[in-house]
Structures are given as C-alpha cells and as structure tokens.
Structure 1
Amino acid sequence: MAQHASQPTLVLRTGPEIAEYPPRTTFGPRTLVDFEFVWLLRGSAHWQCGDLRLDLHPGTLLLARPGMRDHFRWDAERPSAHAYAHFGLADAGRLGDPDHWPLTRSLSPADPMAALCAYALWLAGGTPNPDLTRTAEVLGWLLDLFVRGPVPDDVSADAGLSPHLRRLADSVAGAWRNDGTRPLSLGELAAAAGVSPGHLSRLFRAEYSVGPVAAMELVRLARAATLLQRSNLTVAAVANACGFSSPFHFSRRFRAVYGVPPRTYRTAHATDDPHEPLVRAGLLRLARSLLADHT
C-alpha cells in the first residue's frame, strides 16, 4: 500500500504488545531512546516524567518521546494491563516538531484512534506471521490522528456554523425528518433561524453564493442525485422523496443545476460526485447537518 508523502513514516521497533501486572507493580525510571505509544486495557496507572504527572485509565492514549525519563506505578488494588508499541520516526511528514506534539489523547468507542489501536494489536497477534509493514502503516495513521486531532474541522457536520445557521440546520433537519424533504419558504427558514427574512438573506449572501431558499433547493437536489445513483427508485419517486411537486418540475430544476436530465444523470454520471454543486456554493457543511438522517 502506497503511503501519502505527507503522512509520517515509522520504523517499528517493538510491538504492539500487551503487558500485564499484578497490583502495586512499578516500572522505571527508564530513559526512552525512541517513541512509545501506551494505552491502558485494564486497571490504571500513574505516569511521571520529571514534573509531569498523569493518571492513566482505559480510554487514554499516551505518547512518550525519546529522551523522556519516566516512571510507571500500576494500580494498587487490582491487576492492570496495557498495550504498547515502540517506534522510530523516519519522516515526520506534516506533523512538525515532536516537541510540540500532545502527550495524551482521550479515546472513545467511536474514535478512529481507538479502532486503530485495536487493529494494530490484531495485526500483531492475530496471525502466525504478523504483517509488520501494515502494522507500521497503521501506527503511522494513529500518530497522524494523535498529533493533528482525530476530527479535522471540515468533517464535523456543524463545525464552523454560526449560531443562527446552526439553529436553522437543527430546525430544518427536524422538519425534514418528520415531514419529508419538502421546500421551505423564506419566512419558514427565517423563523427557524430566529432572525428576520432580510437578515437571513444577508447571512446567506455573506456566507454562500446563493440565498437561503435556493440553498435548500440545492440540498434537496443533491439528495435526489444521490438517490438516482444509489437506488432503483423511479424518477417520479425520487422527485416525490425530495419534495418536488412533479417529475416535470424536478427534471427542469435538476437539469438547471446538474446540466443533464435525471435519467441521463443516472445512466451516464453514476460515478460523479452528487454533492459537487454544494461544494461550489460552499454549502457542504450545512448540507451534512441537514441530510444526516437522509443519506
């Protein structure tokens, strides 16, 4: 698997492995000569490096760095277990100076870092001949997410939306969830945002390349484009599902935005990005909030 040039390149030294401890076990002090990921599986630990003191529990990922002289004190009441991996760094990619990297990150079941930790352990212990190259790549992905943060700003559906637009998105998403993806008037949209129609129009013109009513239509058309590509619904059924009054009206509006009629789009544009008009208008983040329950 080719690795993107901006991704970090790791040299795996040890692990991932699992170490288990009886209560009150200690380890160190030791001076690290490489990088080490440590994540608790059971129990707890107290980690100290100079004046730095951290309590570690399952759900915490620690990255210790070369030159650190650290010390572990494991749970005094019950057995503990942690996973660890040692690695060198051949190329930091876009991650910058390791001195500026975070020391810990929190993990959750839905966090991609938690899944990568589990996958790295599976690769290391799930086969007679572990795939060390793949394991190093997985740890590289883990390091990238650890340093840069697990969720980039443009992935979160409502990240960056102003309070008025977030309120509008929540209200419209609820309305569409209950009543279908129907068209909404400027007055309805303004009431959802909690501002006057004129103020909402100014907000949209400042933020996007279209007004609020046209923006909602683009979102409905993007949903329709997705249904054309990824369902066997008739064009009439797609039009109805996306709030258009008739197949003729839907076809006319679809062609105006996508350049071809719905049937042609389905047959000749099956691999096109259905969200491309939203991207052009800067509406993708808002659309994700509105369509979360529909796509």
Structure 2
Amino acid sequence: MTQLVLRTGPEIAQYPPRTTFGPRTLVDFEFVWLLRGSARWDCDEHHLDLRPGTLLLARPGMRDHFRWDPDRTSTHAYVHFRVPDTGELGAPDDWPLTRSLSPADPMAALCGYALWLGSGTPRPGPSRTAHVLTWLLDLFVRGPVPGDVEGHTPLSLHLLRLADHVAATWRSGPARPLPLAELADAAGVSPGHLSRVFRSEYAVGPVAAVELVRLARAATLLQRSNLTVGAVATACGFANPFHFSRRFRATYGVPPRTYRRTRTADDPLAPVARAGLLALAHRLIVENA
C-alpha cells in the first residue's frame, strides 16, 4: 500500500462568517473536511460547495481559494502530507477531488480517529497518524468499499416523489433538465426548502444533482453503446453537442470522445458517488430503466 508522509495536522480551524482564505498554491496534498458551517472552494475550473460530510483532497500545484459561510461560524479539519510514491493508486491528476462521508463509511471513521489522535496529550508518534491517513487515502482514491456503493441513507418521501417524476418525464422523451420549480412541485415542497435539503445533504443543488445523473447516463452510453456523441447529447437532454461536451468535460475531466476512447474501465457513476447521490441515481437510472 502507498505510504504517505505526514507534514501538518490533523488540526482544526474555525472561521468567522464571510472569512476568505487564499488564493494559495499548494506544495503538498491536503485533506479538508468540514465539521460545521459551509465553504465555497474554487480552483481553476473547479467550483465546489463544501458541507459537513464531504471530504476534499487538494493536490500539489493547485491554486485554490476558500470562501467560508456568510452567515455562521465554520469549522473544518485539515491535514497536509506528501506521497513519495503513489504506486498502485496511479497518477494524482486522476484522483477524485471529493468523496462523501457517512456514519457507516470507514472513511468517516478514519477521519474521526485521525482527529482523536491529533487531540491526544501527549500526541502519538506521527507514524501512527500517517498509517491511519494512508488507509484514508487508499479508500478515497479507490472508491467505496463493497456494500457501500448503494448508500446507507434511503431517499426521503419528498425525494422519492421527485425521483419518480423525473424518471417518468425521462421515459417519455430525452433525459432533459427540469427547472427548480418543477422539481419542487414534484417533491411537494417549496423551491427554497428543496434547495436547502439538497445543499445540506448532497452539497449540490437539485438542478445540479439532476444534471450529474444525466451526465452519468451519458457516460454509460458512451461506454456501452455505438451512439454518436451527438446522439448521446440529444438522448440526455443537452441542447447541442458543444454544450454537452463542455458540461461533460467539467465533470469527467475529458471530452466525451476522449472518455469513450480511453476511460472504458471507469465507473460512469463516480461523480454521482462523490456527490452522495447514488441512491437518487440508482432510482433514476436503474430502477426506472
């Protein structure tokens, strides 16, 4: 297993409302996970809304910027480390940026244990913490353990109604985008309430969540069909191949044609999994196929 070298942490930092941090250029790897509040993380073309339950891995050379919750104090944990040899984990540029944590997830337990080690008096030797973080890095890069992929949090009644409405709409035509008002009406809640639920549980809004599932469907078609890229774009509700290619590249890191040619072994649901949306995607893509 790849062994990392601990540099700083694990530590906890607290930020008053409207605090910012950066831009800064990282010289090492950094795990960041929120304990309270929220943050906006910007780095080149990446723009992520971070909430408790999301684990971020920033890489050396990244120039990033944090904007913390405008209304309340935010608290996050962080740790800096080096990876002298990535070994079987492959190139860091191919690693995910975020993973979702849950109480039943071993990554969540490892984060908690690392913090506990960091708060001990006296602190244990760095080698023990490094071993814990090595396991965390391995799980983060390789993906969820077997049995974790279905998610441990079932959809609420509101989200079941939303998913069934979206699935019914897609069965009668392309997997088109749905406006927030229509999603909220299907769920039986106000648009504001639905947005708060999604951003609290999934760190993305409902419209963005539906787009991630549409892109996952597109990635599956690219891998497992002979449809042209234009036909995939149409089937997944994108206005034209150019718009589809731009949105696909922003999520999967490569254009659709490159993904089809070089990523045949990739999990098309990986971005959905990182957002914690597997249960929703499963209902839309699998159960209503």
What TM-score, normalized to structure 1?
0.49
Equivalent residue, structure 1, for 2:140: 146
Within the alignment, does 1:49 sit opposite 2:43 as a pair?
A: yes
Residues 125-136 of structure 1 aligned to structure 2 (within 5 Å): 125-136=119-130
Do 1:124 and 1:132's aligned partners in 2 also have CA atoms closer than 8 Å?
no
Instruction: State how far apart, in whole Å, the 2-side matches of 1:88 and 1:61 are.
Output: 17
Do 1:59 and 1:108's aligned partners in 2 also have CA atoms closer than 8 Å?
yes
From 87, 91, 98, the equivalent of 2:85 is: 91
Do 1:35 and 1:65's aligned partners in 2 also have CA atoms closer than 8 Å?
yes
Give the match's secondary structure for 1:24: coil
Instruction: State how far apart, in whole Å, the 1-side matches of 2:129 and 2:149 are.
Output: 31
Note the C-alpha offset of 1:42: 0.3
Give the match's secondary structure for 2:84: strand
- Structure ID, larger Rg: 1
The Cα offsets for residues 118-168 of structure 1, whole Å up to 9 and x where unpaired, read as: 00011111231333101001000000000001214xx5699xxxxxxxxxx
Within the alignment, does 1:32 sit opposite 2:20 as a pair?
A: no
Within the alignment, does 1:110 sit opposite 2:104 as a pair?
A: yes
Do 2:15 and 2:75's aligned partners in 1 also have CA atoms closer than 8 Å?
yes
1:79–1:64 CA distance, 2 compared to 1 (3 A):
same
Give the match's secondary structure for 1:47: strand
Instruction: State how far apart, in whole Å, the 1-side matches of 2:84 and 2:3 are.
Output: 5
- Structure 2 unmatched ranges of 5 or more: 151-289
Letter in 1 for 2:107: M
1:94–1:45 CA distance, 2 compared to 1 (3 A):
same
Do 1:124 and 1:131's aligned partners in 2 also have CA atoms closer than 8 Å?
no
Instruction: State how far apart, in whole Å, the 2-side matches of 1:63 and 1:156 are.
Output: 20
Instruction: State how far apart, in whole Å, the 2-side matches of 1:15 and 1:157 are.
Output: 30
Equivalent residue, structure 2, for 1:266: none
1:40–1:156 CA distance, 2 compared to 1 (3 A):
closer
Instruction: State how far apart, in whole Å, the 2-side matches of 1:54 and 1:95 are.
Output: 24
Equivalent residue, structure 1, for 2:131: 137
1:157–1:46 CA distance, 2 compared to 1 (3 A):
closer
Question: Where does structure 1 differ by over 6 angstroms across 4 or more consecutive aligned residues?
Answer: none
Do 2:117 and 2:123's aligned partners in 1 also have CA atoms closer than 8 Å?
no
Letter in 2 for 1:51: E
Letter in 2 for 1:116: L
Equivalent residue, structure 2, for 1:61: 55
Instruction: State how far apart, in whole Å, the 1-side matches of 2:123 and 2:74 are.
Output: 27
1:12–1:156 CA distance, 2 compared to 1 (3 A):
closer
1:20–1:121 CA distance, 2 compared to 1 (3 A):
same
Equivalent residue, structure 1, for 2:74: 80
Give percent identity, aligned residues only: 76
Note the C-alpha offset of 1:91: 2.2
Q: Count how many residue pairs are aligned between Structure 1 and Structure 2.
A: 150
From 9, 15, 23, the equivalent of 1:21 is: 15
- Structure 1 unmatched ranges of 5 or more: 1-6, 159-295
